[in-house]
C-alpha cells in the first residue's frame, strides 16, 4: 500500500494533513514508535485483579496482553502469544486461574509467564524405546511468554514492551503527575462497570478530542444547556515538556450555574433555554475534598496521556478511557467507570448516575464518537487536504482559557518529531 505523502503547509502544526489518518503503513510506524517503544501504555486498574490468579486480557497498541496477579501478589503483564505456535491462547476478558494453558498443544505457563509444561517434551515410550519429543537441549526457561515492564501508581497499571523506557513518573512529567496524583491519591479504587465501543476513526482523533476545549461548549448541547462545561468558566490548559500529554482543567460555577434549569445559565447562550430534566438527580453534584488543588476546586479535569489513555473527572464521574487502535481507520474505546472504597452509598449511586453522561450512549459523549466517524470519512475521501488548527494562534503553550487548539498543535509537534515527518 502506498503512503499518502504528508505535506505540511506551514512550519508548525497549525495545519494538520488528512494523510496523517489515512495510511496503513504510517499507522504501523506509529504503533512501533508510540505504543511499542519508549512509551508507557495503560493496561488497567489494580482493583480489576484484586486476588492472586486474577487476570484481565487487554491490549498494548494492537498487541494482545494479559495483566495478571501472581500468587505472591505481584502484578505482571505478559503477551498473549504462545511461545510454541504463536496462538493467542487467552480468550476470556477476565477470570481467575492458577496457570495459563494454550488449548492448541496444552503448553502451560505460570501467571508470571514462565513456561512450566510441554506435553510429550520427552517423547513417548513405544516398544521399549522413546520416540520423538523436544530436542535434549530444549530449556523451558528460554521459552516463556514475552513479559512487559510494569509500573503502578495510585492503583493504575501501565506496561511497556520497551524495558529501557524511562520511569512512569518521568514519562508523565511533573505537571501531569500533579493532576494524576490528585485523582489517584492512594485511595482504594472500586470498579463500577465498563462500556466498550468501536469508533470508525483514527485513534489520534480521540486524543485530539480531549485536547480540544473548543468543542465541548458547542457540540455538547447537553453540557451547555445544563451549565456543566462553559467556555467562560475558569480554566487552565497544561502540558508536559514534550507537549504529548495534557490536562484540561475547568472550574464550574465560576461563570454560570448548573441548576438543572437551562434558563438560569447566563452569558453563553443555551441550546434550549426552557429545557428541564425529568430527573434532576443527574445534576446532583457534590464537591469532594480531593478536588481541591492549591486555591482551586476544579470540577472537571480531563487528562490525556499519550498515546493510550484518557483519565476523566467530570464532576462526580471518574473513569479511564482506553484507546485501543485497530488499523488506521478504527479503534475500540473502553471505559472503566470507578469509584473509591470510602465512598458513601449516596456517592456510589451518584457516580453511577452521572456515568450516564458518558460512554457510547452517554448524553454527552455519544456526540464525540459521531464527529470522529464523520471526520474520518472526509479524510479517506480527500487525503491530500488538511485541517485548520489555528484557534488561539499558531504556536504551542499553556493557557488560562479554553478558546484555543494549542494542545492539539502541541501533540502534533511531538508526533512530527518522533515520526520524523
Ligand atoms: Fe467531547
d(CA 17, CA 173): 29
Mean pLDDT on 191-201:
98
d(CA 56, CA 90): 10
**pLDDT value, residue 254:** 64
Mean pLDDT on 403-414:
98
d(CA 411, CA 405): 10
- The residue with greater pLDDT, 256 or 24, is 24
Of the candidates 200, 235, 201, 199, the residue with the CA atom closest to the CA atom of residue 217: 235
The tens digit of pLDDT for each residue in 98-130 reads 999 999 999 999 999 999 999 999 999 999 999
Tell how far the Cα of 251 is from the centroid of ligand 1, in angstroms: 17
Residue 389 pLDDT more than 80? yes
| Intervals of CATH 3.90.380.10 along the chain | 170-419
| Intervals of CATH 2.102.10.10 along the chain | 41-150
Tell how far the Cα of 167 is from the centroid of ligand 1, in angstroms: 31
Tell how far the Cα of 398 is from the centroid of ligand 1, in angstroms: 20
Q: Between 2.102.10.10, 1.10.110.30, 1.10.8.420, 3.10.580.10, what CATH number should domain 41-150 receive?
A: 2.102.10.10
Mean pLDDT on 384-405:
97
Residue 260 pLDDT more than 60? no
**pLDDT value, residue 276:** 85
**pLDDT value, residue 275:** 81
Residue 69 pLDDT more than 60? yes
d(CA 289, CA 202): 37
**pLDDT value, residue 262:** 43
**pLDDT value, residue 283:** 87
Q: What are the residues whose beta carbons fall under 8 Å from the beta carbon of 295, sequence distance 6 or more?
A: none
Tell how far the Cα of 58 is from the centroid of ligand 1, in angstroms: 25
Across 7-11, 14-18, 78-82, 333-337, least confident range: 7-11
Tell how far the Cα of 196 is from the centroid of ligand 1, in angstroms: 17
Tell how far the Cα of 368 is from the centroid of ligand 1, in angstroms: 5
- Report residue 266's pLDDT band, with 50, 70 and 90 as the boundaries: very low
- Report residue 257's pLDDT band, with 50, 70 and 90 as the boundaries: very low
Tell how far the Cα of 209 is from the centroid of ligand 1, in angstroms: 6
pTM summary value: 0.94
Mean pLDDT (the chain) is 94
**pLDDT value, residue 379:** 98
Tell how far the Cα of 219 is from the centroid of ligand 1, in angstroms: 7
Tell how far the Cα of 121 is from the centroid of ligand 1, in angstroms: 55
**pLDDT value, residue 14:** 97
Tell how far the Cα of 342 is from the centroid of ligand 1, in angstroms: 30
Tell how far the Cα of 206 is from the centroid of ligand 1, in angstroms: 9
Tell how far the Cα of 420 is from the centroid of ligand 1, in angstroms: 30
If you count DSSP H runs as helices and E runs as strands, how many of each does the chain have, helices first?
8, 21
2, 23, 261 from 12: Cα distances, Å? 25, 21, 43
Tell how far the Cα of 137 is from the centroid of ligand 1, in angstroms: 57
Residue 163 pLDDT more than 50? yes
The residues placing their C-beta within 5 Å of ligand 1, an ion, are 368
Which superfamily does 170-419 belong to? Naphthalene 1,2-dioxygenase Alpha Subunit; Chain A, domain 1 (3.90.380.10)
- Report residue 231's pLDDT band, with 50, 70 and 90 as the boundaries: confident
Residue 157 pLDDT more than 70? yes
Tell how far the Cα of 100 is from the centroid of ligand 1, in angstroms: 40
User: How is 131-164 classified by DSSP, letter by letter?
Assistant: E--S-TT--GGGG-PPBPEEEEETTEEEEES-TT
Amino acid at each position: 500500500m502506498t503512503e499518502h505523502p504528508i505535506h505540511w503547509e506551514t512550519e508548525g502544526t497549525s495545519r494538520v494533513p488528512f494523510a496523517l489518518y489515512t495510511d496503513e503503513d504510517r499507522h504501523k510506524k506509529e504503533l512501533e514508535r508510540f505504543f511499542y517503544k519508549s512509551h508507557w501504555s495503560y493496561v488497567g486498574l489494580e482493583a480489576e485483579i484484586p486476588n492472586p490468579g486474577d487476570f484481565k486480557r487487554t491490549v498494548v497498541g494492537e498487541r494482545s496482553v494479559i495483566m495478571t496477579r501472581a500468587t505472591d501478589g505481584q502484578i505482571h503483564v505478559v503477551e498473549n502469544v504462545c511461545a510454541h505456535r504463536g496462538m493467542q491462547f487467552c480468550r476470556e476478558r477476565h477470570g481467575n486461574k492458577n496457570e495459563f494453558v494454550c488449548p492448541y498443544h496444552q503448553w502451560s505457563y505460570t501467571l508470571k509467564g514462565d513456561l512450566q509444561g510441554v506435553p510429550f517434551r520427552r517423547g513417548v515410550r513405544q516398544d521399549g524405546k522413546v520416540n520423538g519429543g523436544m530436542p535434549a537441549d530444549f530449556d523451558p526457561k528460554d521459552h516463556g511468554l514475552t513479559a512487559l515492564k510494569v509500573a503502578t501508581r495510585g492503583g493504575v497499571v501501565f506496561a511497556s514492551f520497551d524495558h529501557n523506557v524511562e520511569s512512569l513518573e518521568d514519562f508523565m512529567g511533573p505537571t501531569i503527575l500533579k493532576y494524576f496524583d490528585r485523582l489517584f491519591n492512594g485511595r482504594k479504587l472500586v470498579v463500577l462497570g465498563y462500556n466498550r465501543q468501536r469508533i470508525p476513526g483514527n485513534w489520534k482523533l480521540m486524543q485530539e478530542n480531549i485536547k480540544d476545549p473548543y468543542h465541548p461548549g458547542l457540540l455538547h448541547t447537553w453540557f451547555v444547556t445544563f451549565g456543566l462545561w462553559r467556555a467562560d468558566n475558569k480554566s487552565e490548559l497544561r502540558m508536559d515538556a514534550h507537549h504529548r500529554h495534557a490536562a484540561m482543567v475547568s472550574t464550574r460555577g465560576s461563570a454560570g450555574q448548573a441548576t438543572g434549569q437551562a434558563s438560569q445559565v447566563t452569558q453563553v447562550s443555551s441550546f434550549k433555554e426552557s429545557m428541564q430534566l425529568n430527573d434532576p438527580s443527574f445534576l446532583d453534584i457534590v464537591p469532594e475534598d480531593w478536588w481541591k488543588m492549591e486555591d482551586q476546586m476544579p470540577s472537571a479535569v480531563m487528562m490525556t496521556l499519550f498515546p493510550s489513555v484518557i483519565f476523566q473527572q467530570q464532576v462526580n464521574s471518574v473513569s479511564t478511557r482506553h484507546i485501543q487502535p485497530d488499523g488506521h481507520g478504527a479503534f475500540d474505546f473502553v471505559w472503566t467507570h470507578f469509584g473509591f472504597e470510602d465512598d458513601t452509598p449516596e456517592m456510589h449511586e451518584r457516580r453511577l448516575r452521572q456515568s450516564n453522561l458518558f460512554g457510547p450512549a452517554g448524553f454527552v459523549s455519544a456526540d464525540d464518537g459521531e464527529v470522529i466517524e464523520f471526520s474520518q470519512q472526509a479524510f479517506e475521501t480527500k487525503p491530500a487536504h488538511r485541517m485548520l488548527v489555528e484557534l488561539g494562534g499558531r504556536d504551542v503553550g499553556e493557557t488560562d482559557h479554553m478558546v484555543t487548539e494549542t494542545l492539539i498543535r502541541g501533540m502534533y509537534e511531538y508526533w512530527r518529531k518522533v515520526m520524523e515527518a
